[in-house]
Amino acid sequence: MIGAGATPLYQKVKDHILTGIAAGDFAVGERVPSENELVETLRISRMTANRALKELTGEGFLNRVAGVGTFVADRRAKGHPLSIRNIAEDIRSDGHRYSAEVITLQEEGAEAGIALSFGLKNADSLFHSVIVHLRDDTPHQYEDRFVNPAVAPDYLSQDFSQQTPYEYLTKIAPLQEAEHAVRAMMPPLSVRSRLNMAFDEPSLVIRRRTWTRGVVATVAHLYHPGSRFELFGSFKP
Amino acid sequence: MIGAGATPLYQKVKDHILTGIAAGDFAVGERVPSENELVETLRISRMTANRALKELTGEGFLNRVAGVGTFVADRRAKGHPLSIRNIAEDIRSDGHRYSAEVITLQEEGAEAGIALSFGLKNADSLFHSVIVHLRDDTPHQYEDRFVNPAVAPDYLSQDFSQQTPYEYLTKIAPLQEAEHAVRAMMPPLSVRSRLNMAFDEPSLVIRRRTWTRGVVATVAHLYHPGSRFELFGSFKP
DNA sequence: TGTATAAACCTGTATATACAGATAAATCAA
DNA sequence: TTGATTTATCTGTATATACAGGTTTATACA
């Protein structure tokens, strides 16, 4: 057994495997413990081990071959899935130093277009943050985010140089669903200067809208310098 | 029981539910049969019903609430998935007229970067097509595509003003997997002029690589005018 | 009438068990 | 040595069972 508590057992098994991968116990391409080995070492049933390994396979961390075993997948080979990710963790896991600069953090009256995204009346106010994420002190992403006060009432009192909005929001509100829209544009000067972009360099903008408990929790515009960034998506029919 | 054969039972249950949704037996928001109801009507175990409903939930077709039931999800509400789509069909389904102009259709020696994408030696040759897709006679997408001759030997003799490469390729080769990379860039003059783009307008470029039977079938670069295009993706945790 | 309480039903998780089918290694026979 | 066969291992699927915990409806009580 691994431990006890509120988190389901299969989730702990998943974490156990992921931790092992992160710790280097299992390198890319190597075999991870089989279902029966997990049954013996962790004292769980095979179906629980099966669920953990099956879900990790579905999430792209493992590959399974019937009759042979379960192996650590090469996630870099075919691009990361277009999913919600924590930029701080991404930067750190690539072996770089992450830091953040908070530009704006205040309450604002909802502008018409944003209010529409939230499904709110024009008069309602929203929390607004602007943060520049840096990799090795080089600007990497410009994050312009509006947050539903009903979902995160304490948003304005957070220190986002220590914890990204993503980390904070996933901690206090369960992420139900997310929508991404990607477009290319010439960014406004405010963004351009913060990202040290050349005057003729286009930007890749991701508009991310997330739902929690049926209501829109946050609408974020994430600006990336187009020439230094690629967004990956993967699809299996 | 539903039937017998090679396809797993849980898959048949999934198909059974999806067919019911398509047939209108269960409308959006309505409840689908509970696990125990499926156990009785289909004469299966609850765990099999559970697997079917759980997977359909993960795929976005259903929503589940513990203690209440399982309901048909509204898939249209929150954007299309970032998936392979047929541009001709997209344009027509939006009520517009689709046409295509074939710019290039020939065999070429594989340039180094492209050959790498295919996992081929430099010397190998590939099929190359350049097509501009028009919506109501306005340029809408510039498609620059390389195709593996081993997968589509008759590619060069097709009339792509009548049938898109996508339609042709999906007809002759099963799509196994696809990778997307999205980036923003200032397109080359050749692309810019074909799409009637302003000199300072950035472009959203999707590089799409697809696999069939374990080999790379095609690598396509799809250029969209950035200011007129949005790419959608959806994700559920 | 209003309010606890109980009952019924639902999903979520976990176990034990069973058989199949796929794969690779070991073994045996020609 | 080669080729066929057996054996061991591993995943894939399916069932029966059990209990926890959320949600709604019905019931009993004050």
Q: Do residues A17 and A92 both lie within one domain?
A: no
Distances (CA, A) of B1 to A231, B31, B171: 45, 21, 33
- Measured CA to CA, the distance from residue B209 to residue B221 in angstroms comes to 9
Q: For residue B215, which residues of chain A lie inside 8 Å, CB to CB?
A: none
The per-residue pLDDT for B230 is 55
Residues 13-72, chain A: which have Cβ under 7 A from strand C?
43-48, 65-68
Judged against a pLDDT cut of 60, whether residue A82 lies above it is answered with: no
Per-residue pLDDT of A160-217, as tens digits, reads 998 889 888 877 776 656 666 677 777 889 999 999 988 878 887 888 888 776 678 8
Per-residue pLDDT of B73-98, as tens digits, reads 875 443 334 445 567 766 675 567 78
The per-residue pLDDT for B70 is 94
Q: State the smallest CA–CA distance between residue A187 and chain B in angstroms.
A: 10
Specify the pairing of strand B62-65 against strand A177-185: unpaired
Q: State the smallest CA–CA distance between residue B163 and chain A in angstroms.
A: 22
Q: Do residues A30 and A91 both lie within one domain?
A: no
Q: What is the domain count for chain A?
A: 2
Chain A interface, best mutation among B82, B86, B221, by max A CB count within 10 A: B82
Structure tokens at A184: 């290319």
**Rounded percentage of chain A residues whose pLDDT exceeds 90:** 31
Cβ of A180 and B229 within 8 Å? no
Residues in chain A whose Cβ is within 8 Å of chain B:
58, 78-79, 81-84, 175-186, 200-205, 211, 224, 226-227, 229-237
- Measured CA to CA, the distance from residue A129 to residue A142 in angstroms comes to 11
- Answer whether residue B179 is part of any domain: yes
Query: Which of B25, B49, B72 is at the close of a domain?
Result: B72
Q: State the smallest CA–CA distance between residue B205 and chain A in angstroms.
A: 9
Q: Do residues A17 and A128 both lie within one domain?
A: no
Structural domain harbouring B49: 9-72
Q: Do residues B91 and B35 both lie within one domain?
A: no
Q: Label residue A219 exposed, middle or buried (CB < 10 Å: 0-12, 13-18, 19+).
A: buried
Give me the residues paired with residue B102 across strands: B131
Cβ of A183 and B82 within 8 Å? no
- Measured CA to CA, the distance from residue B91 to residue A86 in angstroms comes to 35
- Answer whether residue B138 is part of any domain: yes
Per-residue pLDDT of B136-156, as tens digits, reads 888 889 999 999 998 899 999
The predicted model gives B181-195 an average pLDDT of 83
The residue among B118, B113, B111 whose CA lies nearest residue B179 is B118
Q: Is A137 left (phi over 0), alpha (psi -120 to 50) or beta?
A: left
The per-residue pLDDT for A79 is 38
Judged against a pLDDT cut of 60, whether residue A219 lies above it is answered with: yes
Cβ of A184 and B226 within 8 Å? yes
Q: Do residues B197 and B128 both lie within one domain?
A: yes
The residue among A211, A207, A206 whose CA lies nearest residue A118 is A211
Give me the residues paired with residue B210 across strands: B178, B218
CB within 8 A of B38, min separation 6: which ones? B13, B44, B49, B52, B53
A:B CB pairs within 8 Å: 131
Judged against a pLDDT cut of 70, whether residue B61 lies above it is answered with: yes
The predicted model gives A97-118 an average pLDDT of 86
Q: Using pLDDT thresholds of 50, 70 and 90, give the confidence band for residue A133.
A: very high
The per-residue pLDDT for B198 is 85
Q: Do residues B141 and B29 both lie within one domain?
A: no
Query: Which of B45, B72, B99 is at the close of a domain?
Result: B72
CATH classification of the domain holding A67:
1.10.10.10
Which residue from B minimizes the CA distance to A234? B179
The per-residue pLDDT for B193 is 93
